[in-house]
Amino acid sequence: MLLHNHSQKSKKLNFTLTKAIAFEMNTGELLGIEPLELKFPFELKKQISCSLQLSNKTDNYVAFKVKTTNPKKYCVRPNTGIVLPRSTCDVTVTMQAQKEAPPDMQCKDKFLLQSAKANDGATTKDITPEMFNKEAGHVVEECKLRVVYVSPPQPPSPVQEGSEEGSSPRGSVSENGNANGAEFTNASRSFVDQLESQDKSAEAKVLISKLTEEKNNAIQQNNKLRQEMELLRREGHKGGAGVSFLFIIIVGLIGIILGYLMKKA
């Protein structure tokens, strides 16, 4: 009986030690990591990010480095750094936009977070690959993180459960759809009317400009004809009565031309 009780107590103690060792391996003596799974709300053709929080539980400076089995798929910022004593550091992991969903939404990608003690006052520039080399005798803690795809949060349904007047939700949706359609039609008509008015105003401006130009040309021709008439009149006084009949004919022709031009303008 005593042996049986001792055996049960030993089993319980071993189980407790195993859980404690596993927890210690996951969190580490240098850095605590939260969460231990990278959960991405998967959506096609969209970048998705999630965060890790690293907690330094010691009085030492701790250096860390993040590795992944698929570096082209993920962007880690920062992927190396220093966590000050008794402080925290946030790490953002961004998954690039994916064109296809994996089978059964299962992901085989893994991350490895390495941590090691650093000298007091160390900065990110002081981090070297040698610090995470176990073969060189450095104490390096490692924690493996797996990637999990979760469903994206669903937006709330726009359909109301009911209305005060007792009308069905389907009817209210239909009415909203008709109202939106009418607003869209009115907006389209207004836009088309504006375009037509702009086109008409542009045509009117061109026509006015053309008529103004023709009017200016007619005025110039009128001034020129007046000068020629004055010149002919002076010559007519010198030439005598024989020229008077020719002058009358020329004046008549000029009047006809002027009348035609002014009518056209």
> Three-class SS string for 111-164?
EEEEEEEECCCCCHHHCCHHHHCHHHCCCEEEEEEEEEEECCCCCCCCCCCCCC
pLDDT at position 72, please?
95
Q: What are the two backbone dihedrals, phi and then psi, of residue 132, each rounded to the nearest 5 degrees?
A: -105, 20
Q: Do the bridges between strand 31-34 and strand 110-118 make them parallel or antiparallel, or are there none, so unpaired?
A: unpaired
pLDDT at position 16, please?
45
- DSSP label of 241: T
**For the chain, what is the total number of helices (H) and then of strands (E)?**
3, 9
* H or E element, residue 188: helix 169-239
3 state SS of 108? coil
3 state SS of 206? helix
**In contact, 92 and 76? CB cutoff 8 Å:** yes
pLDDT at position 15, please?
42
Our CA angle for 96, 99, 100, nearest 5°, is 115
Query: At 151, which amino acid appears?
Result: S
Cβ neighbourhood burial of 222 (10 Å; 0-12, 13-18, 19+) = middle
Mean pLDDT by 10 residues, the chain (265 residues): 50 44 56 95 93 95 97 96 97 95 90 96 95 91 94 71 49 48 63 66 79 82 82 69 68 81 70
* H or E element, residue 59: none
Q: How far is CA 75 from the centre of its chain?
A: 19
Q: What are the two backbone dihedrals, phi and then psi, of residue 195, each rounded to the nearest 5 degrees?
A: -65, -45
Inter-axis angle of helices 169-239 and 242-264, to 10 degrees? 170
Q: In what order do the strands lie in the sheet with 48-56?
A: 31-34, 48-56, 88-95, 74-77
Find the largest Cα–Cα distance for the chain: 164
**In contact, 51 and 44? CB cutoff 8 Å:** no
